[in-house]
Amino acid sequence: MTGYEKRGYLNSDFRLFHLTDTKKQDFEYHYHDFDKIIIFIRGRVTYRIEGQEYQLQPYDIVLVSHNDIHRPDIDPSVPYERIIVYLSPR
């Protein structure tokens, strides 16, 4: 995983977030040591996971497995709303 930042943490079997962002955010490629489920609600986002691009539509569900290199590209002109679940891979 050289060159990529590990982000986030999980001290239990799961964590659940409901987030809405209205400010510009730039994400670098990164990875987690837990699985992540994203339930996309609204916005304009392209998710890049392990070399594949996914243009998200409302209520798409995305699974990012632990150690997958990924990042979202977010259009800041509209709010980005999603539900995120962190899951222990064990």
The one-character DSSP state at 11 is: S
Q: How far apart are CA 13 and CA 31, in angstroms?
A: 18
Q: How far apart are the first and last CA of the chain?
A: 20
41-54 pLDDT, tens digit each: 999 999 999 999 99
This model's pTM is above 0.85: yes
Whole-number pLDDT of residue 7 = 81
57-88 pLDDT, tens digit each: 999 999 999 999 999 999 999 999 999 999 99
Looking at domain 23-87, its CATH class is: mainly beta
User: Structural domain boundaries of the chain?
Assistant: 23-87
Q: Is residue 1 very low, low, confident or very high in pLDDT (cuts 50, 70, 90)? A: low
User: Please, are residues 72 and 45 in contact by the beta-carbon 8 Å criterion?
Assistant: yes
